[in-house]
Structure 1
Amino acid sequence: MSVSMLFIHSPSTHISSERRLPTTVPLTSVKARLETITGIPLESQSVQLWSTRTDDPDCNAKLLCQLDNQDEVTLEQVGVEDGMCLKVLDKRPKGSVVDMFSDEAAEKIDMYQMDDETYANRADTVLAYKKRHGIGRFDPKKDAASSVSSEPPLPEDIKVGARCEVDMVGGDGMKRRGTVRYVGSTMFAKGDWVGVEYDEPYGKNDGSVNGTRYFECRPSYGSFVKPDKVTVGDFPVEEIDFDLDEDEEM
């Protein structure tokens, strides 16, 4: 089965990913897989083929063809090549349920944020409980020497730019792939941390925490993990797992 490495870009759901897609199956099969990536239902997708990635204005992408109402056509038939982009637009009207979860909707919510000083002065918090019972850093038996980090030294192969897999906390063996973007100490916690830009939006930030920026990446693609959760190696971007029917296998 022929495949091509293509960029997948969904502006409405902020998804941008590079994936290997089959070029000899009907477009309707490809769109079903695009739904698992973008979250846009198959019937609501408007798919365009572009010359290169469309999430970077410096790439000067050109629209090659519109793939609406061509569900039986294959990507091979429309001349797809490695490095091209499938841009997936959402045809659902404005005001639909999808807009309830957009960034614009979230910005309109008046969310209360407690400052550090107010939190520290409250008596009904985890911090207050630890103070009352001498837990953790409030343990009076601890001396200055015990507060020194006993973490092992950072592995030499964990370097900025290295590809990696991350063991997800509580993920029952689940791993996520990405690229190391930061290695070292931080302002938000003691010890060494590894900043990772995930291939997919599984992260918690954009490379900054509490107003301090450690690296640059898209929102929800960045996270900080302890070095023992990171394995460096030759980890390419994961492919979509196509469960093809028997008559589609080769």
Structure 2
Amino acid sequence: MIVDSHCHLDFPDFAEDIPGVIGRARAAGVGLMVTISTRVRRFDQIRAIAAAHPAVYCSVGTHPHNAEEELDVTVDELVALSAYEKCVAIGEAGLDYFYDTAPRAAQEQGLRTHIAAARITGLPLVIHARDADDDMIRILGEETAAGAFPALLHCFSSGRGLMEAGVALGLYVSFSGILTFKRSEELRAIARDVPSDRLLVETDAPYLAPQPWRGKRNEPAYVANTCEVLAGVKGVSPAEMAATTTANFLRLFAKVPRDAVATA
């Protein structure tokens, strides 16, 4: 079984098609998926999707693009919302200097708020990092020194330095369809050097569909393709990589019941 550790089933792209998306995922061997929050103020929509579908879990958090809109979100609020039984992560939160949609100070403030919630709850923080490697390394180092917390560098497309710093701090690294793109040789070289016990896979659907669907709407079923490419990068079989990434997912996303895998 494969797990899509990061998708966005609440986005309009899936409004009329969630049962079909889940059915196609199951047919492709994808047994579980986590639909990731981008706005705390819309958590009710995320929670409703998770509640309606046994194979779907969720997170709670504010994407860095929306950081300025939700600076009033407190650590206590994140902790309270994360108590929902199918909420298994905090985030996504982080830094995005590529688009700079929100002021960088607001992004950092939001990230530190989410780190505090992850530290209190023990739930993994789903980290978004784009074109912000130096600041991300600095913040993760400062915050880990203040108290460890579980975390994942999602949809990894950053430099080797951030990967190595994250792994040294105990973080996991997740790869998306970007790994399959023809021009992603450098990213595949980085993935080759991530310890196998820190690897996860994801879609970030509806974005970043892997080859051969690049440019089309992505969906959780396609994570199987990324898993296959990652297996080739690491020199193992697709079945072994599926088992490895699922075991890693369950170790990091420890709130997911183990019988969820048995019944998926």
Q: TM-score, normalised by structure 2?
A: 0.24
- Highest CA radius of gyration, 1 or 2? 1
Q: TM-score, normalised by structure 1?
A: 0.24
Query: Which one has the bigger strand percentage?
Result: 1
The higher-RCO structure (CA 8 Å, 6+ apart) is 2
